[in-house]
Structure 1
């Protein structure tokens, strides 16, 4: 902290840099989490889109198999099946059970003027009122001979598909290529709703399918076909309420199916994702406009990034508030110190009173900060309890539980920080009539507190009892030994030796360990508030412990020295008064 910062009460530049970097990390974590969430959500959309496209392809391939089964049946009868035979075939095919979405399966015969009369005689022997309709000027006839189930499709029996361009073009293409083909958009005569549909053709030939186009045209007998209403096809494919996307389908610029209407229950006027897929099959090109719907939006939110951002901002605001209060406390301390006059005794007493007030202020400020910190921790625990069923569910997002645990971890960090500040503020306030400190008992107590074996912490001293501020001395030992335990890589190998040498009017203590040591370039800064040399795998530290040691020693007129190097352990040394400060003061008064 610079002199100017002390006098103005501004937050030191180092603390500003630390808080700024912390905020940058918070926003970086939020941005990274948000980006990852966006990628995952987009992948879910892509998966849903690909699934629907795959289902359409697979379902059409299954319908095609049914048509080729009909072709095999026709060719096994040399293209001349009777109505009862076709009904038996369709009944055994069980299209209602195995092919949902299909309207039926039938046969279309290809006729010329020469074969038309004999064909009518054969059909009228099965249905006396059979007629080919409607009339047209084409040179070929393509009447629908059979269609099962016939009940809902009765209006199609006898319909000559050659009368209409889309029906006729696809049928002839199927004949010439020998492949299954679908028509462009049509309205089925049996569809009372007059909604868009199409026909699906598979050709059959006399003596099997020829290799050459000319032979196919000469030997073609007709096609097995299936009529489809697109709406029923999609309902049979995958119900809308089971999908998180909506689709519309267009063929040659004509919309044949549309779920992007505002009247749809799951319609999202501003979809999170949208894509256009071209589906080229069976001689047609379908354009699929795929969009996410409200169900997709509801199941794909950005909860985790928001929790990280809010939690990080709250913690940073608390830390910044604490730093501001500490900076103001330092400013007040300097203001009081500047008023010291030549009357040293009077001004010293005033300064002591001022310091006491500041310590109380720091204590009160840190104590008051505990309330909102506990509130944040309690609220987070309540959220975890409320979400317990969700967090244990198989489809729960693990990022939410991780974010809540991160907030609780930061709350514990703030608790440790405020406790350290409270401990720091208590230094110099001795308890009345305090018993002397028994060094051997302290060693035993420290070993128990830090889980050390007796051989791991040793005392080398001719002095056993210390009268000078025993509470403060114990606090110094606790922080130094705790520091050794915290930063030792393998606690089982830790060795701590506490020595005491008696000098003229004080005791000189040393606390030595066999830990990793401290690089000389960091040895001065570790005694400052909130400074820590924590590495990535070391435990969290408040950076207050050694500041407590330094202040406690200096309050009693001593100085802390450090001897250490990397890999060679650490030795802290300091002076401590032999008797209580109040005893020294009494003796001084008597001498005066």
Structure 2
């Protein structure tokens, strides 16, 4: 900036400032006039304050008196109830009390009351008979909260009952405020109110109180002599303070706000900012203590906005305003001479500020401003322009050709054409192009400019601004890439994807949907859903189901498909689609609501998969399963019948062999005797095999219904059946306390018997040692039978559970090879699992897992039982 020019500007500005300066005598006149104005204003303000204070005191006293009058009216209602009970000799029930309450019209004549009721006083000896009488009238009647005490004060009647149902049966003796006021009413014979309480029927849990009036046996009027021994009960009314005040003090009829306290506890408060009439800076405040039936209520009274609006405070302000206007005219007169210089100075300062604000806005938004002279070709740029193009003033020639050279080669021709068209007036200059920084970086620029023409239509100036839009361009590219990827995913998906707007108009119909239904995208976009590919009968049936489920009418249209998705849950359901050629096929349709960041629904997405092949496969599997079940049943029946029929000829063979041996034993040769023993041994083994086959077939055919089984008793039954084998082998059988299970008792016993019998049979040189234990894991019971026998190799642990599968020679270990197969079939029947592990002693651990099946109750019982045994 030129220093001489700056100095001249400062001199002109100083002259303008001095020309507008007032002299000392001007100020003397203004101050004197202002002093007279303030004296008159203060006198008027004091007079007005006194009048307004008197009005506030009247409003405050009237408000308090309204509360007193309303409480006296409520008291009259209570004493009326006492008189009514006296006419009945104290024998009042709910129906009589309801008729009485209706006759006095409590809801119309006593606004703000929450109800009116009866409390009876009982000692512990009277309580059982009282409770029996009440339950004869009202079977569900209870005194609450439950406790054992010397006396009871239950609420026996209350009207209206619906709003006060929670109070019925409430014992006043359970809480100090209630019982203290009740006993005081009994002893004094006067009406009493409780301290602040929260009524059980008040869902908002706001302060309230109870109003008591005592009644006595044979006493008909509240002014009769008090005899506490003849006390019978109380007529009472519950009050929620906010309701009491709403019925007593209509807000529109008063202009003061109140806060009511009892012993420091706030009962009602209008001094809150949420109250529209609340004045944070009230004109007046006042505190009044009121005796309220045994309590002292403190009324804190404040003036409100409506009070302020209803008082006329304009007189002092009018005087003040008039005086100030006169002073202002004087000052205006004195400043009139200097107004021209001040106006010029102000305009100059405003223009300076506007220019500075424009420069700051351009810097903040990274906007570069340039000014082109068409005649000289010179371009004047601000600092932001140099930063946008990556140059500085020393290294960049501010000419049109230099600017054009900095553009990307592919964009120069288009930008030059747009620039020249703007200079000729054919169009405005609004162009986007790329520039190349000296570092080689490419940036995207948006340029806009305005051309100024002279009277002859020749361009004389072009003023423009550039901004960097590189980030916006990149974001747009990423968005387009994402859109293309989504479109590719939709089209490549093997399922039909159909999206709609919130009203059901189709906006997306992917390639798979076109192939599946035979309709083109052009045919379906913008059509309303349900479309032509839905079965209308199926839609109506679903609408009926949803109407019953939601308890309201659901129209057989788009609502059928989205009603559940709208409630933030996806719905997956099988539907029938109809192709364009009329053919039908089943689909599994999943509907999901599309939501924005504020959880507002923007549309719905439906994904449908053709399940025709799946349904056909499912049907084939069901037919195969049914056929397999019939085959298994027939096989089991055949095994049972065949095994049963084989036993009769076997018995004859064994019987006649025994007879032959008895009759001809001495005459038989040694070889004949040997052959005879072979025959009898084969018969015995054949009988054992048949019995095992019968047992195997009976697992399914004669299995009883599963029930709750004490595994300890079942185990003991199995041990008793094996007592002879245990004694002969000198086996030691031990067990822990076993958890209960859901099983067939007989089959569980057979399971234990087979596994323990195997442990005894397949023993080594040492005496058999068998230990049984059990545990509960989640919903399953796991039992273990551990032995010190010969063990089973890992490769045979699955094989041994097959029918007739043996690992040892029959001469060494007798058996049919069916015992473990029976165990496996018993376990399979209850959806359990059985497996084998190695024992540390070298033997085997047979484990089987079955459900305990009776839910959390049995699970807790099992855990408690096992814990108790552990403690022992």
What TM-score comes out, normalization by structure 1 length? 0.48
User: Quick check: which has more Rg, 1 or 2?
Assistant: 2
- Normalising by structure 2, report the TM-score: 0.33
Larger relative contact order, structure 1 or 2 (CA cutoff 8 Å, min sep 6): 1
Q: Give the number of the structure whose residues are more often strand, by fraction.
A: 2
